[in-house]
Amino acid sequence: MGRSIIADESVQKYIEKLAKENKWFIGVIIGQLTSQRDYVVHLARTPDPVEDEVSEENGEEDGGDGVVNVRQKSVVERPASLEELDEKWVSTHAKQVSRMLPGGLSVVGLFAIAPPAMLKAAQTKLRQMMSSVYKQLSKTSLTSPAAEITDRILLQMDTSTKKLTCVTVDIADFKSAPRPAEWKFQSGGSKWVRLNSNINLDIPITVPQDSKAQSLLKQIQVGLADFGSWIQTSVVTVGGAVRAGSEPLVAQGEKKGKGKGSAASQDECTSFDVGIFLPFVTSEVPQDPVVGQSQATINMVGTSVVRAFVSARATVADAIEAVKTDVLRSIMARCELLCEEFDVAEVTQGRSEVYDPPVRLFCRLPHTAVQVCDYVFQDEKTEEVKGRIQELLDIQVEELEEAEKSAADDDTWSQPSLPGVVSSQSQVAELTEKKSSVRAYLGAAVGGAVAAIAAGISYIYLNE
Amino acid sequence: MASSIEVSAKVLSAVTSSEWASRGIRGFLVGPANVQSPDDIQVTGVWHMELIDGNELKEDINACLSHFPCGNRVVGLVFLPSSNCSKSKSEADPACLAEEFAEQNGSGAQWLERLGLSQAAVLCLWRPGKSSEDAASMDSSVFLVSPESFALATITDTPRGKPPIRMRLKGNIPLTISTESKGEEALRAELDHELTRLQRHLQAGDLVYGLESNTVLIQSGGSVAAAPGLSWRTCGELYKNLGDVATGNKGKLGKAQTQPRLPVSILLRASTEANSENQYAPIIRHQTGSFQSVRVSLPMDILVDVEESVPMFDLYNSLSDAVLRQVNTLFSCLNVFTKNNKLLSPEVFHFHPSVLDSPVTIVYPRGLSDDELEEERKILHKHLCLPMDRPLLRRGASGLFLSSSAPGGYLLNTHLGLSDPPVKGGTVSTVVGYYSYHHYMQDKFDDDKWGCAYRSLQTLISWFRYQGYTDRNIPTHREIQKALVEIGDKEEKFVGSRQWIGSFEVSFVLDHLLGVTSKFISVNSGSELSSTGQQLAHHFQTQGTPVMIGGGVLAHTILGVSYSELTGDISFLILDPHYTGGEDLRTIHDKGWCGWKDMNFWNQTAHYNMCLPQRPACV
């Protein structure tokens, strides 16, 4: 039996809107895969590669910035058909969207809307696109749970008949044939449960002398692997209790208005506070110290907000998985964004730098009870963030919830004078005792960040 | 009415037979923290140390308690009065003693305040007068100190009512220590830094203790996260409930084994309350250069003995106190044994010497041999009032009391659980310490009909190994044969043969492999063995080693003797190496492979030689 997919009503409206434009579209499907059924909350078309307005801005503000110049060169025309699509264009979009999703939600597939002939001609291309999207997404994820569902959705609409075709593709085995899946719209939207937490991070990373990882991002990613597996073994309490994974997260009796589909139910979202506990493993065999030479030490310290959404029908295990995913995805998202924005490779030997990655904010995904997030650098303006969210998710958002406080927000932010000082939560605060040169450094870097965001459409090319 | 204080006979004997250098307060008395009746003092341990002044009392107490199971506290002091306050004078008029006590170290009330106690025991020791027959041991009396009084108390040794709930907390806390310069100073600074970090976590209540495969989490403040609907106020309730949960296996375990320790894990609470003041989004510190990075882990391993009545809140605090103490101990071990910029992993060992009532926990640096640690052990023996002529704290002697079998699956101390010997009015003297049962067909090696003396020798050697005298493995038949060839007792072809060995070969091998000498008792016929009662009893009381006996075609191990001087009745505790079955204690007991045997057991006409290993005097 194929997968059964339930999409919110708003998704239907979105598809209908795009279908009317008489153009072809490609984009990502956002939702949740579960062993029972899949939920789709949103579709976001991949933005067009060119918009004049943005190119102008690039030219004006960042003429001297080499990176942006390159970007300008790489701006290309929107291809005439799906078949001519650059796979990277879509996979980069998918990666950026993925960062914007709280735990529980992910890019569960791709959609394409095109005239029948173009669709037919692009079938192979679409399969390739699925492949490159999921290769890209797995590249930056820290760990993948063992029992992960490997089916992904490919939804197509033929603009002449307005007929929807839905199949699933097994990304663990691209050679296997796509399987037909059932796609249904549901009025009123699915019900969601929100999971909240904050996690204290204090992750020491050493980069071995002989490390093959060249870039800082790669070094961090390799270094975070241990932490990633530690998080996977963590004990997660839900609402203060240790619950059996197979239990339904919300007891049947607690669900209300089931099947009613009233508009009000969208706003309702049961929420749980979750606790995350990292177990210290024991080994029967005594261990000797492992001594190594390293070329760098990296330490990630601070508190990350954790948020996840799962279907009201989810099990406790689903909820826990979503929380763990959020922790790891958010850490990686911050590091990726940081490394994309700063040219950290230029750090001189023996230097010590403190970077503040962008901080997380949330906003409601319109017409749903779930939220999406974004990461914002210092000095980025609200309008710029909203603009980016609109660009990447194709939604208009009103309110942004700033869920975190940047260490650099404090105007006494400074670089610690002694090596090895920053490694505990309270010491982040200590960092802020003296003024120093880092402020200037950050200021300059943030300037670059602003420019990059102003670049709008071409933004997504940054990651090539 | 004179109050009474429960002092374990073993502690009293250890304290009075120990060497005490001078006068004044010379140590702590340790006992269970009884929350229900805090005035009820039980002394189950002692820690001998120089208390220079009160300034470092807290550290001294922590250093002391780090060696005892969590759930203990300091309940009193050891005091050596001057000759002005003799035993008889003090007992008749404790006020004189109180005065002297106060003169040197502050009044009883002040000490109670320092120790955080409402009442405390003061164990006074006097050097024995010349008239005393047993000059080796000291005279003692116990006084009860309360804020108002200093009164003589009677010593009782009534066994405690309910056994405590036993747990064992384990978890490896990983540390990454990166230093830029090669100097040891930098390394130590980093160690200090890591220590501070852990201490902060502990102070913040970030550590959480997990039971039942982490389905029950004991959190700061004693709140318990568990399956919905489960809640406990005291350890007793918790234990009972968990017991119910785990009943699946309980029946099978049987009652013969000691009560297993409930495993407890350590977790780090990573999640935190939303938005406290000093909470900032993650930052990344990046430092390039040339570093030496050391990954080492703190192998936390804490024994916990708590009363059933202990509230969960107190349990959390005691566990955290114990964790903090062990963290400090492990770091101090890392610090002390860091030489030439090299770290040695600390390792935690638990011992339960038969001369003590309570297990003790010691941290040794991994990588140093027992010989290199002799000085450490001497200091520890002194602290714990252990005899200085036997190795009770060598690594090889650790942990056996926590398991029912020895490494390799051999059964330990198979005689435990046997019914009493059938000798009326007899004195029972048995092996002191641990041995493992070695018999035919073990180690996938068929030695049926010829290997009994080899197996008996293995049991003898196991005793030396498990008492820490040696860290060499228990030799195989071949290794035993090789040893005999090496000393020239046998020819080369003996190796690999199925030739028997006797009592003398056993002693040669003990001497060659362990440096252990043996005494012999020989009798011309089995019937004469009835005359060996006194000698054997003396052997078990002074040496405590298992004895090998060979006669005719058979070899056995003697583990003890029950002998009545009055009637001459005698019974031997025999461990029979001819057993060919599996490691099933029940069969071994029921079929008499380990059991008390009377004179009929012996071949009345065979000549017998006994090999009585003499333990070397060492620490």
Distance in Å, alpha carbon of B408 to nearest chain A alpha carbon: 15
Distance in Å, alpha carbon of A399 to nearest chain B alpha carbon: 20
- Chain B within 8 Å of A103 (Cβ-Cβ)? no
User: Which of chain B's residues have a Cβ under 8 Å away from the Cβ of A287?
Assistant: 172, 296-297, 299, 345
Nearest-by-Cβ selection for A206 from B176, B225, B347: B176
- Chain B within 8 Å of A294 (Cβ-Cβ)? yes
Q: What is the pLDDT of residue B609?
A: 96
Residue A431 near residue B278, CB atoms below 8 Å: no
Cβ contact, residue pair A299, B271, below 8 Å: no
d(CA A375, CA B46): 59
Residue A102 near residue A371, CB atoms below 8 Å: yes
Q: What is the pLDDT of residues B378-416, one digit of tens each?
A: 999 999 999 999 899 999 889 888 887 888 889 999 999
End-to-end distance of chain A based on CA atoms, in angstroms?
A: 38
Provide, rounded to the nearest whole percent, the portion of chain A with pLDDT above 70: 75
- CB interface of A with B, residues 301-340, below 8 Å: 301-306, 331, 334-335, 338
Cβ contact, residue pair A206, B227, below 8 Å: no
Mean pLDDT score across all residues of chain A: 80
Candidate ranges B165-174, B221-230, B248-257; pick with highest mean pLDDT: B165-174
Three-state DSSP class for residue B445: coil
User: Which of chain A's residues have a Cβ under 8 Å away from the Cβ of B168?
Assistant: none
Query: For residue B318, which of B28, B32, B29 has the smallest C-alpha distance?
Result: B32
Q: What is the pLDDT of residues A323-342, one digit of tens each?
A: 999 999 999 999 999 988 87
Distance in Å, alpha carbon of A463 to nearest chain B alpha carbon: 21
Cβ contact, residue pair A296, B291, below 8 Å: yes
Distance in Å, alpha carbon of A348 to nearest chain B alpha carbon: 8
Nearest-by-Cβ selection for A278 from B215, B267, B282: B267
d(CA A219, CA A345): 11
Sorted by sequence, the CB contacts under 8 Å of residue B557 that are 6+ apart come out as B456, B459, B460, B546, B547, B548, B549, B574, B575, B576, B577
d(CA A4, CA A186): 12
Which of B272, B279, B319 is the best mutation test for A, with the most CBs of A within 10 A? B279
d(CA B528, CA A120): 106
Q: How many CA atoms lie within 13 A of A194 on its CB side?
A: 19
Cβ contact, residue pair B208, A277, below 8 Å: yes
- Pair of tokens at residue B372: 């290199």
- Pair of tokens at residue B593: 């492979």
Nearest-by-Cβ selection for B271 from A242, A275, A405: A275
> Looking at the predicted structure, is the pLDDT value of residue A436 above 70?
no
Indicate the range of A143-147, B232-236, B523-527 predicted with least confidence. A143-147
Nearest-by-Cβ selection for A235 from B171, B214, B297: B214
Q: Which residue in chain B is spatially nearest to A407 when comparing CA positions?
A: B280
Angle value at C-alpha B373, between B368 and B374, nearest 5 degrees: 150
Residue B51 near residue B60, CB atoms below 8 Å: yes
Provide, rounded to the nearest whole percent, the portion of chain B with pLDDT above 90: 58
- Please give the residue that has the higher pLDDT: either A142 or B486: B486
> Looking at the predicted structure, is the pLDDT value of residue B238 above 60?
yes
Name the packing angle between helices A52-61 and A438-454 (round to 10°): 150
d(CA A25, CA A344): 36
Sorted by sequence, the CB contacts under 8 Å of residue B412 that are 6+ apart come out as B400, B403, B404, B405, B406, B434, B435, B436, B437, B466
E strand or H helix that includes residue B294 = strand B283-306
Three-state DSSP class for residue A172: coil
A230-266 as b/e: b if 16+ CB within 10 A: bbbebbbbbebbbbeeeebbbeeeeeeeeeeeeeebb
Residue A148 near residue A107, CB atoms below 8 Å: no
Q: How many CA atoms lie within 13 A of A436 on its CB side?
A: 12
d(CA A419, CA A428): 14
User: Which of chain B's residues have a Cβ under 8 Å away from the Cβ of A240?
Assistant: 223, 225
Concatenating the DSSP letter of every residue in A324-371 gives HHHHHHHHHHHHHHHHHHS-GGGPPTT-EEEE-PPEEEEEEPTTSS-E
User: Which of chain B's residues have a Cβ under 8 Å away from the Cβ of A279?
Assistant: 171, 210, 214, 265-267
Q: What is the pLDDT of residue B570?
A: 94
- CB interface of A with B, residues 360-399, below 8 Å: 360
Query: For residue B47, which of B360, B364, B393 has the smallest C-alpha distance?
Result: B360
Q: What is the pLDDT of residue B612?
A: 97
Cβ contact, residue pair A288, B367, below 8 Å: yes
End-to-end distance of chain B based on CA atoms, in angstroms?
A: 44
Q: Give A445: exposed, middle or buried? Use CB within 10 Å, 0-12, 13-18, 19+.
A: buried
Sorted by sequence, the CB contacts under 8 Å of residue A461 that are 6+ apart come out as A49, A71, A74, A75, A89, A92
d(CA B174, CA A206): 14
Sorted by sequence, the CB contacts under 8 Å of residue A176 that are 6+ apart come out as A169, A170
Nearest-by-Cβ selection for B227 from A242, A301, A420: A242
Three-state DSSP class for residue B577: coil
Indicate the range of A7-11, A151-155, B340-344, B540-544 predicted with least confidence. B340-344
- Pair of tokens at residue B101: 């006590």
Q: Would you place residue A26 in the very low, low, confident or very high pLDDT band (cuts 50, 70, 90)?
A: very high
- Chain B within 8 Å of A417 (Cβ-Cβ)? no
Distance in Å, alpha carbon of B556 to nearest chain A alpha carbon: 35
Query: For residue B67, which of B314, B264, B356, B472 has the smallest C-alpha distance?
Result: B356
Q: Would you place residue A310 in the very low, low, confident or very high pLDDT band (cuts 50, 70, 90)?
A: very high
Cβ contact, residue pair B292, A292, below 8 Å: yes
Q: Which residue in chain B is spatially nearest to A360 when comparing CA positions?
A: B281
Q: Which residue in chain A is spatially nearest to B210 when comparing CA positions?
A: A279
Angle value at C-alpha A135, between A134 and A138, nearest 5 degrees: 80
Catalytic residues of B: 452, 576, 578
Q: Which domains does chain A have, with CATH numbers?
A: 4-186 (3.40.140.10), 192-461 (no CATH)
> Looking at the predicted structure, is the pLDDT value of residue A147 above 70?
no
- Please give the residue that has the higher pLDDT: either A403 or A44: A44
- Chain B within 8 Å of A197 (Cβ-Cβ)? yes
Give the Å distances, CA to CA, from B83 to A11, A134, B20, B362. Answer: 96, 87, 15, 36
Angle value at C-alpha B513, between B509 and B519, nearest 5 degrees: 50
Q: What is the pLDDT of residue B2?
A: 55
User: Which of chain B's residues have a Cβ under 8 Å away from the Cβ of A431?
Assistant: 283
Distance in Å, alpha carbon of A57 to nearest chain B alpha carbon: 30
pTM to 2 decimal places: 0.86
Cross-strand bridge partners of residue B596: B573
Give the Å distances, CA to CA, from A125 to A128, B34, B541. Answer: 5, 75, 88
Q: What is the pLDDT of residues A271-301, one digit of tens each?
A: 999 999 999 998 888 888 999 999 999 999 9
d(CA B280, CA A426): 10
Nearest-by-Cβ selection for A280 from B265, B287, B342: B265
Q: Look up the ipTM and state it.
A: 0.87
> Where do we find the tokens 């979105």?
A14
H helices of B165-308, in order, are: 184-203, 235-245, 247-253
Nearest-by-Cβ selection for B279 from A353, A356, A405: A405
Q: What is the pLDDT of residues B298-319, one digit of tens each?
A: 999 999 999 888 888 889 999 9
Q: What is the pLDDT of residue B128?
A: 78
**What average pLDDT does the segment A170-196 reach?**
90
User: Which of chain B's residues have a Cβ under 8 Å away from the Cβ of A198?
Assistant: 271-275, 279
